[in-house]
Amino acid sequence: MPCDVDAAVIANTRLSDDYSVLALAAPEIAGLARPGQFVMVKATPGADPLLRRPFSIFEILRDAAGAPTGVSLLNKRIGAATSLLYDVEPGAHVRCLGPLGRPFEPADPPTRAWMIAGGVGLAPFLTLAEALAARRTPATLFYGARRASELYYTQTFAQLGVEIELSTEDGSRGTRGYVTAPLERALRSLPPGERVHLYVCGPTPMMRAVAALALTYGQACDVSLEQVMGCGLGGCYSCVVLTRQHPGATPHFVRSCLDGPVFDADRIVWEALTH
C-alpha cells in the first residue's frame, strides 16, 4: 500500500544548471521501496501546476544505524514542476506518494546484470545496483550523457562494485557517441553461453536500440519507461503503453503505472512509442 507523505526537503543538491538531487524525509516510503519503483510528487500545494509528477526513487536514504529515513530523486529541469523542484530549498515540504509500480527483478549470479542509462535515465539504477550488490551479481553500468559534466554518481556506483562504462556524445569523457556502441561491443565479445540481463532507462530511441540489441544477442532485457502520468495509481488511463502479452499476440494498451514502469522489452510495441 502506498503512503502519501508530506515530506520535508532535507537537501537539494544542484549538480548542474539542470540537474539536482532532491532528498526527502519519507521513512514510510523508503522502508517499502523496491528497486526501480517510483513516487508521485506534488511540487506545490496549489492548482498550478495541478498534477503530480512521477520520479524514480534514486536513493534510499538511511541513518547511521541503517534504518531508512527517506528517498532522493534525480530531478532534471524540463517543465514547470521540475523547475519548481529544482528551486526548492531545505525546510520546504513536498507531497510524495509511493512507492508505486512494478519493480526491477534483480538478476542472480552467474547471470551478469548490465544497466544501461541515458541522461536522467540513471535514476532507477542506484537502488537496483544496491540489490545486485547484495546478491553478489556482477554488475556493469553503461552510462551515456551529452557531455562529461552531465555524468553523475559514478563513484557511488563504483563503490557498490559496479563496473562503469562511460560514453558522451561530445567525447569529453569515455567513448564518443551513444551508449549503445560500447554495449554492442560488450555483447559481441561475450563468451558463448554467458547470460546477461539488460536493464535500460533513458530516451526512447536509446531504449528501442538496446531492446533491439537484446533481441539480436538473445539476452533478457527490462526497460523502465517514463510516460505522462496523471495519478500513478491506475485511475486515469493516461500512461498507457502498447504491449503484447506474448510475441504475436494482439497488442493492447496497458497502464505503465501498474503494469510498469518496468516492462520486459519483448512486450513493448516499440513502433508505437513516440515520446
Residues numbered 227 to 256 that lie near other proteins (CB under 8 A) are 227-228, 230-231, 233-242, 252-253
**Shortest CB 82 distance to other proteins, Å:** 13
Kindly state whether residue 29 participates in binding other proteins, applying the rule CB under 8 A. Answer: no
**Residues in Cβ contact with 165 at an 8 Å cutoff, skipping those fewer than 6 apart:** 140, 141, 142, 143, 174, 175, 182, 183, 186
| Chain residues 188-207 in contact with other proteins, contact rule CB under 8 A | none
Scanning residues 91 to 120, which ones bind other proteins (CB under 8 A)? 95, 97
User: 187, 210 in Cβ contact below 8 A?
Assistant: no
- Alpha-carbon distance of 240 to 259, in angstroms, equals 9
Dihedral angle of Cα 12, 13, 15, 17, to the nearest 10 degrees? 50
CA distances from 44 to 17, 51, 82, 85, 165 (A): 21, 10, 11, 9, 38
In the complex, least distance from residue 229 CB atom to other proteins, rounded to whole angstroms: 9
User: Whose Cβ is closer to other proteins: residue 246's or residue 275's?
Assistant: 275
Stretch touching other proteins by CB under 8 A, among 44-52, 125-133, 145-153, 214-222? 44-52
Q: Does 48 bind other proteins (CB under 8 A)?
A: yes
Binding site residues, other proteins, CB under 8 A: 1-2, 4, 42, 47-52, 95, 97, 227-228, 230-231, 233-242, 252-253, 258, 272, 274-275
